[in-house]
Structure 1
Amino acid sequence: MNRFEGKTVVVTGGNKGIGFAIAQRFASEGANLVIASVEAQVEEAAAALREAGAKAVGVICDVTDREAVTALYDRAEEEFGAVDISVQNAGIITIAKIEDLTEGEWDATMEVNTKGVFLCCQEAIRRMRKSGNGGRLINMASGQARDGFIYTPHYAASKFGVMGMTQSLAKEVALDNITVNAICPGIIKTDMWDYNDRVWGEMLGGFGPGELMESWVQNIPMKRAGEGKHVAALAAFIASEDADYITGQTINVDGGLIMS
């Protein structure tokens, strides 16, 4: 399929994990990709997309910095024209008991996960309205936007914020032919897998290497972890014309782990 032939897609946090899987999916369907990250490896990820036949550029961007976000969308328009789809995927997580959780950790998590989504949505909406072509905004929430988990109140709060923001913006821009939806990934096998297994496992106690994540997987009705491609498939659907009457929704991709 080439559903996104000629479409310009911005993906923040697009150099690895779920973000890169989303970029790959859009690239496979003909989109022009602008992937952003604070990490220098973002250009390597863009090069990998180009080697696979896609039109793609990598941009170093701190999504908490308004000027950097503006420059990101400027670059997208310079390279490929008006932005049609913007995926707000950049995010961070730390894990700590409440007595050890620092104000700095709280602020940094809210800055990246919530403010970063706000700044990117704001800039994308401004440009989509100017182009008059409508558009799609896809915000990355989390299973923790449904059910906050232990030792991560700051992360849960940031993702609940993404869900609320998605609903509010969807109502505001509906008549501009812009849809706004969010995705809640569940337990997804990414580069964060080992970190989560180790740190949560140590804090909860009684778990050896790999045992905690495996125990979580056993709580999933499908008895298997998700992959980036599963989240990417939903992102592609939400961005397609088939989803032009879907907005303000937050959709789980978790094998049935959370059914709400």
Structure 2
Amino acid sequence: MTKPIGSEIFAGHFKGRRALVTGGGSGIGLGIAQAFAEAGASVLIVDRDPKVADSAENLRQAGFEVEHAVADVTKEDEVKAAFARVVELWGALDILVNNAGIITIANLEELSLEEFNRVLAVNTTAVFLCCREAAPLLRASENGVILNASSGQGRQGFIFTPHYAASKFGVIGLSQSLAKELAPSGIRVNSYCPGIVKTEMWEYNDREWGSRLGNYKPGELIQEWINGIPLKRPAEAADVANLLLFLASDAGSYITGQAINIDGGMFMN
């Protein structure tokens, strides 16, 4: 994994701060967890995949204070258990990153209610569950921050993903509401909106969208979209992590209630 540049800029900045990252076992989530650990934070990475234990161990072997918890963030009892682990480890929490997310791609007539609800459960309801459990801990922090994963589809819905678009629009609305409610406690809440990122999810997207939008060979559709990005490249996990380091830092202390694009200029507002 490429070392996030931001962790060098913010070296030691998060020493003494404690962070929980959902969906932290791989992809963007692991990049975020690594970035905060490199910048000095103690990090608990949460993922439903038991392989999260290996990800945490790799970071510990690199000299960072990283723990893990296996939990499905759509299940209330498992979310509660993950936050109980935070209390057990540190007795406090300063940063919550709700990064866990899934996408499926289907024609409307083929999209089942079960599939629709599953995507909303992971992408939106789980954000609510984690924010609710984190709130008492963050109120006790002098640096309480919540960062919620939205998407470019939180800006503009795309074909064959009405459930995903709805879930990501929902994250932005939820974040704005909580930013207002939690501001008197000094807690800042923002969401981040990645575009195309080098992850396994985007390999799936390329394949499934490509099969529905035309006779695309693997890699052709995503390259077509990348060519339309002003900066002409997809994001790395480190690009997303760098934004979150800034938003969680003292340098971002006057930013709350915002949804910030990290997409190379794909969407501009």
What are the Cα deviations for residues 159-209 of structure 1, in whole angstroms up to 9, with x where unaligned?
A: 000000000000001010100000000111112122111111111112111
Determine if contact 1:13/1:91 at 8 Å carries over to the other structure: yes
Match of 1:72? 82
Alignment correspondent of 2:137: 127
The structural deviation recorded for 1:134 is 4.5
Matches within 5 A, 1:16-165: 16-129=26-139, 131-165=140-174
Question: Does the CA-based 8 Å contact 1:144-1:156 persist in structure 2?
Answer: yes
CA distance in 2, matches of 1:193, 1:163: 22
**Does structure 1 residue 256 correspond to structure 2 residue 265?**
yes
Residues 37, 132 of structure 1: alpha-carbon distance in 2 compared, 3 angstrom cutoff: closer
TM-score, normalization by structure 1: 0.98
Deviations 1:219-247 (A, max 9, x none): 10011111100000001000001111100
| Mapped pair 1:2 → 2:7 | no
| Conservation of the 8 A alpha-carbon contact between 1:8 and 1:81 | no
State whether structure 2 residue 193 is matched by structure 1 residue 184: yes
Letter matched to residue 137 of structure 1: I
Structure 2 match to 1:218: 227
Pick the aligned partner of 1:169 from 152, 161, 178: 178
Superposed displacement of residue 67, structure 1: 1.5
The percentage of aligned residue pairs carrying the same residue is 51
Task: Supply the distance in 1 between the matched residues of 2:141 and 2:241 (Cα, whole angstroms).
Answer: 26
Report the CA distance between 1:80 and its aligned residue. Answer: 2.4
Retained in 2: the 8 A contact 1:185–1:252? yes
Could you tell me which runs of 5 or more consecutive residues in structure 2 were left unpaired when the two chains were aligned: 1-10
> How far apart are the structure 2 equivalents of 1:145 and 1:65?
24
Report Cα offsets for 1:14-52 as digits up to 9, x if no partner.
011110000010011111110001111111110111011
Q: Count residues with an aligned counterpart.
A: 259
The alpha-carbon deviation at position 132 of structure 1 amounts to: 4.8
> How far apart, CA to CA, are the structure 2 residues paired with 1:242 and 1:48?
29
- Higher mean C-alpha deviation, range 13-22 or range 203-212: 203-212
Q: Which residue of 1 aligns with 2:240?
A: 231
Given that 1:134 and 1:176 are in contact with CA atoms closer than 8 Å, whether structure 2 keeps it comes out as no
Q: 1:11, 1:88 within 8 Å by CA — same for their partners in 2?
A: yes
Asked whether the 8 Å contact 1:98–1:151 carries over to 2, the reply is: yes
**Secondary structure in 1 matching 2:44:** strand
d(CA) in 2 for partners of 1:112 and 1:197?
21
Q: For the residues of structure 2 that align with 1:66 and 1:200, how far apart are their CA atoms? A: 33
Instruction: Give the root-mean-square deviation of aligned CA atoms.
Output: 0.9
- Retained in 1: the 8 A contact 2:93–2:141? no
Unpaired segments of 5 or more residues in structure 1? none
Which residue, out of 213, 220, 223, partners 1:204?
A: 213
Q: Answer yes or no: is the 8 Å Cα contact 1:132–1:176 preserved in 2.
A: no
- Distance (Å, rounded) in 2 between the aligned partners of 1:145 and 1:123: 24
Distance apart, 1:74 and its partner CA = 1.2
